């Protein structure tokens, strides 16, 4: 049913490794082929067995990309838990540094997108002030032309 709907509207089906954290890259590729998925969102920072992380070696990331390329499968997104709502500027700067590193990781494995979050409004802070933190933190992405906003 989902495949028929996707074909009708020229959509591509993806899933997140959040549902299969124990799968290796080989198992992900096999699962994509077995179940008819077009892409996968690799979740990082949670110790998933696919092993793609910010500190992964260039050699490992190259081998991951090769496995997806050989199978003609796509990494549609790198899923993070990064948020930008912390009122502490040093913490937001660290997050920006991590996001920039994640963009390099995404490039290395051919993922066109990364997922980040604005985050929850910290207790006792005004919404508009926190939105300003988030906008300021993401300004680097806008300047690089990489902001994507889902509607």
Q: Could you count the other beta carbons within 10 Å of the beta carbon of residue 118?
A: 15
E strands of 12-137, at which residues? Answer: 14-16, 39-43, 74-83, 114-117
State the pTM of this model: 0.86
Q: What is the structure's pLDDT at 28?
A: 98
* Backbone torsions φ then ψ of 36, nearest 5 degrees: 80, 30
Q: Locate 85 and state its tokens.
A: 């709502």
Give the integer Cα–Cα distance in Å for 102 and 125.
29
Q: What is the structure's pLDDT at 20?
A: 98
Give the integer Cα–Cα distance in Å for 109 and 51.
12
pLDDT tens series, the chain, 151 aa: 566 666 677 888 999 999 999 999 999 999 999 999 999 999 999 999 999 999 999 999 999 999 999 999 999 999 999 998 989 999 999 999 999 899 999 999 999 989 999 889 999 989 988 888 888 888 877 676 665 554 3
């Amino acid at each position: 049913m989902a495949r028929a709907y996707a074909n009708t509207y020229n959509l591509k089906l993806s899933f997140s490794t959040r549902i299969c954290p124990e799968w290796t890259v080989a198992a992900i590729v096999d699962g994509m082929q077995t179940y008819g998925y077009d892409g996968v969102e690799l979740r990082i920072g949670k110790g998933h067995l696919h092993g793609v992380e910010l500190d992964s070696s260039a050699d490992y990331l190259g081998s991951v990309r090769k496995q997806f390329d050989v199978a003609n499968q796509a990494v549609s997104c790198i899923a993070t838990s990064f948020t930008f709502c912390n009122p502490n500027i040093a913490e937001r700067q660290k997050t920006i540094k991590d996001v920039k590193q994640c963009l390099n990781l995404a490039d290395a494995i051919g993922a066109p997108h990364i997922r980040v979050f604005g985050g929850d409004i910290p207790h006792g802070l005004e919404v508009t002030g926190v939105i300003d933190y988030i906008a300021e933190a993401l300004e680097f992405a806008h300047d690089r032309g990489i902001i994507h906003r889902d509607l």
